[in-house]
C-alpha cells in the first residue's frame, strides 16, 4: 500500500489535528490487531467485540497509527465511521494506482470464474484477486488495500446478502469489466423473489464507467435492470456467446467457443464449468491475452478446494466433493453432471444431499423440486437435514432414499456411509457449508 499517513487522513476526512504526527509511509492496514506489524495502521471495526478495545494491542504490535471513532492515546485519525473510512480509502486507492478492475458476481460460479479470470490474466499481466471469501463490504476493500503495488489487473468477487450490497461494492471498485455468472435462488430468504436477486446482481454496473464491458446470462429476468450505457454481451442458451461441441468426462471437459481458434480443455467436470471458463476466456481476450495463453491457463487450472473436486476414498471409491455451498441451481447442475458420468464396472452411484440454506419461504418447494433432478442412474440417495424433509416426502415411495432428518443424525450418517461405500462406487456430496459435509468427505478419504 503506497500511502502516507497524512494522505490517508485527507482521504478519510480526519477530524483531528493529524499534522502533529510524522507523515510516514504506511505499510499496510489490518482490522485484526494480532496481524499488525511495524508501520501498519489499525482499523478498529465493530463486530462481536468493538475493535477500539484492541487499539493498545495494535500499538504494542507496532502500529504506526490507528483510525478511531473516539479520541484515544497515541497517533490516530478521528473519523465518524471506521468502516466507511476504510471503504473510502479503498476507492481512492483503486483510482490512484490506476489498476484495471474486473468484477464478478452471480448466484453460482462466481468464485470459480474469478479464479479462472485471474489465472488466465496472470499469464500476461501482474494480477491479483479476491482471497478466499473476502467479497463483502469489509473483504473487498481489504483486498484492494492488500494488492501488490505493481498490480495491473485486479479481479474482485462481489457477493450480496441484501439489495444494495453490490451497488456499494461496485462504487468502491469502479470495474471496467463486470460479469454476472447466473441469477439463481441463493439468499431468497433475504430477497423474497428472484427478480430482486436479479436487480441486486446488475448493480455491479453502478460503478462502471460508460461503455464498460458487461457480460450477463441470456435470461429474461435481467432485462428490466440492464443499464443503457454499457456494452452488454449476452451468453448462454439462445445467445451468440455459448459453449459448443462439449464433451464431458469424469474429470475433464473439452469444448469450443466462438472467439477462440481450436479446442479448449479444462481439467474439471461439469458443463457449468465450461460456461465459467468461456466467460473467463472472453474477459481475458478483451484484455489482450492470446488464445494460446488462454488455453494453456485453462488446461492447467487448479480450482478452489471443495468446489467440484474429485477425491479418492480410503477404499478406492471415487468421491465428487462439492460441499462448499449449495443453492437449487448449483445442486441441479452437479446432479446432472454426476448422472452423465459413466459408472465404474460393478459399481454404484450414491448421492448425499444436505440442506440448502437461506431460501426463505420458498425452501420447501425448492427442496422438493430437486426430485426431478435425481436421475434413474442414481442407485442410492442419502438426504440429511430438516430442510430436506419436503424432498424426502416427495420421494417417499422411492426405495433408493434414506433420510436423516435431525442434525443429531450426523454421526449416524457418517457411519452408515463409511460402511456402505464400496471400492467401485462413485459418490457425490452436495450441501450448504454449515451442514459439514466436508467432514464426511474427510472421513471417507481417511484424513
- For 202-227, what is each residue's pLDDT tens digit? 999 999 999 899 999 999 999 999 99
Give dist(CA 348, CA 151) in Å, integer.
48
- For 374-419, what is each residue's pLDDT tens digit? 999 999 999 999 999 999 999 999 999 999 999 999 999 999 999 9
- For 22-68, what is each residue's pLDDT tens digit? 999 999 999 999 999 999 999 999 988 999 999 999 999 999 999 99
Count Cα atoms within 13 angstroms, Cβ side, for 343: 13
Q: Is 106 annotated as a binding residue?
A: yes
List of residues 6+ apart from 2 with CB closer than 8 A? 25, 96, 97, 149
List of residues 6+ apart from 384 with CB closer than 8 A? 352, 353, 354, 355, 403, 404, 409, 410, 413, 431, 435, 437
Cell numbers placing 233: 454481451
Quote the pLDDT of residue 148: 94
Burial code (b: 16+ CB inside 10 Å, e: under 16) for 185-212 equals bbbbebbeebebbbbbbbbbbbbbeeeb
Max CA separation in the chain (angstroms): 77
- Asked whether residue 359 carries a pLDDT value surpassing 90, the answer given is no
CB 109 within 8 A of CB 276: yes
**Fold adopted by 98-299:** 3.40.1190
Between 99 and 248, the more confident residue is 99
Q: Is 108 annotated as a binding residue?
A: yes
List of residues 6+ apart from 142 with CB closer than 8 A? 29, 31, 86, 90, 134
Q: According to CATH, where is 3.40.1390.10 located in the chain?
A: 3-81
Quote the pLDDT of residue 59: 97
- Domain 3-81, CATH: 3.40.1390.10
Host H or E run for residue 224 = none
Q: Is 109 annotated as a binding residue?
A: yes
Cell numbers placing 266: 479444462
Q: According to CATH, where is 3.40.1190.10 located in the chain?
A: 98-299
Other beta carbons within 10 angstroms of residue 346's beta carbon come to 9
Q: According to CATH, where is 3.90.190.20 located in the chain?
A: 309-445
Give dist(CA 364, CA 122) in Å, integer.
43
Give dist(CA 179, CA 247) in Å, integer.
25
Identify the residue whose cell numbers are 480526519. 14
Q: Is 110 annotated as a binding residue?
A: yes
Q: C-alpha distances in angstroms, 158 versus 82, 123, 132, 148?
A: 21, 23, 12, 20
Domain 309-445: state its class: alpha beta
List of residues 6+ apart from 350 with CB closer than 8 A? 378, 379, 380, 381, 382, 417, 420, 421, 425, 426, 427, 428
Predicted structure pTM score: 0.85
Amino acid at each position: 500500500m503506497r500511502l502516507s499517513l497524512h494522505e490517508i487522513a485527507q482521504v478519510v476526512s480526519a477530524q483531528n489535528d493529524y499534522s502533529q504526527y510524522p507523515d510516514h509511509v504506511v505499510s499496510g492496514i489490518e482490522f485484526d490487531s494480532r496481524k499488525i506489524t511495524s508501520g501498519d495502521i489499525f482499523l478498529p471495526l465493530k463486530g462481536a467485540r468493538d475493535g477500539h478495545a484492541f487499539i493498545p494491542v495494535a500499538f504494542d504490535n507496532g502500529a504506526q497509527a490507528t483510525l478511531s471513532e473516539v479520541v484515544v492515546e497515541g497517533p490516530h485519525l478521528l473519523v465518524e465511521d471506521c468502516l466507511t473510512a476504510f471503504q473510502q480509502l479503498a476507492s481512492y486507492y483503486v483510482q490512484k494506482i490506476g489498476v484495471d478492475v474486473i468484477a464478478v458476481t452471480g448466484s453460482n460460479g462466481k468464485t470459480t470464474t474469478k479464479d479462472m479470470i485471474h489465472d488466465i490474466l496472470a499469464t500476461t499481466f501482474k494480477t491479483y484477486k479476491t482471497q478466499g471469501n473476502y467479497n463483502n463490504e469489509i473483504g473487498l476493500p481489504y483486498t484492494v488495500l492488500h494488492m501488490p503495488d505493481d498490480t495491473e489487473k485486479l479481479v474482485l468477487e462481489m457477493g450480496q446478502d441484501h439489495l444494495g450490497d453490490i451497488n456499494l461494492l461496485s462504487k468502491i471498485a469502479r470495474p471496467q469489466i463486470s460479469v454476472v455468472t447466473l441469477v439463481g435462488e441463493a439468499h431468497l430468504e433475504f430477497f423474497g423473489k428472484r427478480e430482486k436477486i436479479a436487480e441486486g446482481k446488475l448493480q455491479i454496473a453502478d460503478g462502471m464507467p460508460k461503455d464498460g464491458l458487461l457480460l450477463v446470462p441470456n435470461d429474461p429476468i435481467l432485462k428490466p435492470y440492464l443499464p443503457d450505457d454499457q456494452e452488454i454481451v449476452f451468453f448462454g442458451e439462445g445467445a451468440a456467446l455459448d459453449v459448443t461441441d462439449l464433451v464431458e468426462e469424469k474429470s475433464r471437459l473439452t469444448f469450443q467457443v466462438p472467439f477462440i481458434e481450436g479446442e479448449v480443455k479444462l481439467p474439471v467436470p461439469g458443463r457449468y464449468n465450461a460456461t465459467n471458463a468461456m466467460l473467463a476466456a472472453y474477459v481475458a481476450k478483451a484484455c489482450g491475452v492470446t488464445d494460446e495463453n488462454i488455453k494453456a491457463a485453462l488446461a492447467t487450472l487448479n480450482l478452489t478446494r471443495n468446489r467440484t473436486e474429485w477425491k479418492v476414498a480410503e477404499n478406492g471409491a471415487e468421491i465428487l466433493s462439492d460441499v462448499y455451498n449449495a443453492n437449487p441451481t448449483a445442486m441441479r447442475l452437479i446432479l446432472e453432471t454426476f448422472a452423465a458420468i459413466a459408472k465404474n464396472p460393478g459399481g454404484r452411484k450414491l448421492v448425499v444431499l444436505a440442506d440448502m440454506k437461506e431460501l426463505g419461504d420458498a425452501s420447501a418447494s425448492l427442496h422438493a423440486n430437486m426430485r426431478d433432478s435425481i436421475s434413474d442412474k442414481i442407485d442410492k440417495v442419502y438426504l440429511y437435514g430438516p430442510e430436506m424433509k419436503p424432498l424426502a416426502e416427495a420421494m417417499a415411495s422411492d426405495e433408493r432414499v434414506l433420510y436423516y432428518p435431525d442434525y443429531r443424525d450426523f454421526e449416524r450418517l457418517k457411519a452408515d456411509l463409511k460402511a456402505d461405500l464400496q471400492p467401485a462406487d462413485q459418490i457425490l456430496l452436495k450441501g450448504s457449508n454449515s451442514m459439514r459435509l466436508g467432514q464426511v468427505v474427510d472421513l471417507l478419504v481417511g484424513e
